[in-house]
Structure 1
Amino acid sequence: MVAQRGGPTGSYAGLVRASTALLTDHYELTMLQAALGSGTAHRRSVFELFPRRLPEGRRYGVVAGVGRALDALEDFRFDDEVLAVLENVVDEPTRSWLSTYRFTGDVWGYAEGETYFPYSPLLIVEGSFAEAVLLETLLLSVYNHDSAIASAASRMTQVAGDRPCIEMGSRRTHEEAAVASARAAYVAGFATTSNLAARERYGVPSAGTSAHSFTLLHDTEADAFRAQVTSLGTGTTLLVDTYDIREAVALGVEIAGTGLGAVRIDSGDLGVLAGEVRAQLDSLGATGTRIVVTSDLDEFAIAALANAPVDAYGVGTQLVIGSGHPTCGFVYKLVAREADDGDLVSVAKKSTDKISIGGRKYALRRRSPGGVAEAEVIGIGEAPTDDGDDRALLVPLVRNGEVVGREALDEARTRHQASRAELPRAAQQMSRGEPVIPTIHEGPRGTPDL
């Protein structure tokens, strides 16, 4: 059993937790060995985690996984078990250095639930090269996955409006990815999850009733419904498309009464069927019985059901694969490092189509006097000027190696709703398009740098 840190904070801990140090790539450690050998490993360095672009056609992205990344950073240590694995990976002096590894630097980043755009500096990691470079793969794996799920979930909850979305994709992905997906979906507005590990680790509300196998287990559909209502109460949700939907709805109301909580439809033309079921329920006096629809829903299918009498959506496969974009394409690049004279100098990758922009970054969301987002402004070397309507985006996450940015998951959820609400109206469109606001880089004197 793992114990939560003070409830649903978006993180979890047990008395003994496994090291995360091997959740990385071989070359991170061989770089370290070579840097230790050349005497450059301890140079002060600034790394930046950022996207060069949004997934094709998307108008904004959503930051998720911050709390998970902070947990992973705390557990990034090289104990005897880990060092034994590295005997044929790096030399003994490098293993000796790793045996006392603790990240002692600073991390700034976009808070969880925040929206982002191309070149948003989602994380700024400051420390020695040796300490910071080792975190690259771990941070990227957490952020790329969780932000992809949250970005898809945000589009779904946006078009769903006041109708709740239920996360139910556990069986469609890796078992640990399922837990992370449920967490990320909750940040982006999903109401509940089917995943009990997400409930236990992160406090995400869980829900569920029965599948088709439960109906098939019984001699008749009436026997199945009666057993479910007896056990779970009349407020339960009955799955009505195992055999004949119309007959099942009639049976459900007959057995549970007009106070039946909900019926679920998992196949067929959901819009047409929802209309027919609504009319039938109303005719039977079950006017308060809700209709839940499932079956490979994505944001486009949810949008198509906007005018149907649907009360809730269950989303599985399309959510946990990021609705066609299972990764965000984030990268982690060195953007500044210590020179021989002790000053920080900007460095940048210039490869075709894979450029990075040198210098320590600062970010704010430029907003109109009415609070509508107008641009993502990235300051290079110093913070951009706030005209009074703008909003700073980077918050402290780690200071001198100690996590300072942990927060309750509901705070991230609330933040996402506010961040999404301040975007221009075009952000609500499901059609393919460009980022809803531009990204502007400013040099040290406020002049455009890029």
Structure 2
Amino acid sequence: MTTNLSLQERKQAVFANGQGNLYPVYVSHAKNAELWDVEGNRYLDFGTGIAVCNTGHAHPALVEAVKDQMEKFSHSCVMVNPYESAVALAEKLTKLAPGDSPKKAMFVTTGAEAVENAIKIARAHTGRRGVIAFNGGFHGRTNLTMGLTGKVTPYKDHFGPFPGEIYHVPYPNPLHGISDEQSLTALSTLMKVDISPRDVAAIIIEPIQGEGGFYIASPDFMRALKVLCEEHGILLICDEIQSGFARTGHMFHTEAAGIEPDLMTMAKGIAGGIPISAVVGKANVMDTAPVGGLGGTYGGSPLGCAAGLAVLEVIEQEQLKDRAMMIEQRFMESLNELKARYPEVVADVRGHGAMIALELMTDGEVSKPNPALTKAIIAKALDYGLILLACGFYGNVIRFLPPLTIPEAHLREGLSQFSALFDEVMAE
């Protein structure tokens, strides 16, 4: 019999150590919010492959769409012989993107590729070199996106040197003493000390930081950032890779600020697990790059486009933006009960929609992160039938990313199990 342990031993023999796995649990099959390993153990998935399966595992509409496409053809390269599904997906994404300006799209395969291409487009359009990102931000593991990422371990450690002309400023984070005004002041200071605004091509920001800890940029901050960009001819890039596709109760969280970014990056929840990503932006900006300057062999794959169209249909038909808000309510009720029960260790409960975070501290002091408790909870999650993820600048945040299609019975079961798990770890 194949076991989790035997598979882990085989994996360690042939996989590079750098591509590790959080849990030694090997998936046999999954359905919506439920996941079973090769030994028949059942888990509730509160991570969904890092916010990828917004429509749940193996949604029937998605399965049917991908099967149908596979029977027709699996690849031709959209840059050689394109196909209608790619055009249709681009039409839908350009209509869904915030703002009234005419939009265009381009497809690649991963979130990091989308970010790289957004930077390429911004530099081509502005003729400028500099890019400003934020502390704690995560934009990928390629060389350029590692440079943009605002956290060293584990993403940047040992991997330099990184591209030049990338700058970082503090992300607004009132919990840790960084106000909107302080972040904007740091941005202004940077433009006086290190790079002129006339040399800045773009500012890239996650409206809600993903790996950084699910910290949320306020609508006021996003609007102020947009004003600053317009004042200096800088492009605003909103990285919606983790927060997009109904995850936060909006199709894209940028909508909460009522602004129109110049460019947006999209991936993860875009196609329910079939690899595809996109850059969507103002048409006059997107068209700056020369023919042949954007794309890739697998970018906009037929399978990805078919899956993306199916995901968008499910989001609309099953009203997943509304379901995300229901999920938020259930999580907030449950996690705030934990906060009341353990005020010395629960620093904050925050989030929008089904993108929820629980931040842990030591001795009631926010300035003392508690990564050890976070690791203990993550390590014991399997005993309670849960798949959980951590994140955060200090590794002290538990993040919850359940499928938006999760049945309410499974949602309540998972929250009850998490509460019991928390109680056990605290009793140890």
**Structure 1-normalised TM-score?**
0.28
State which structure, 1 or 2, has the greater radius of gyration over its C-alpha atoms: 1
**Structure 2-normalised TM-score?**
0.29
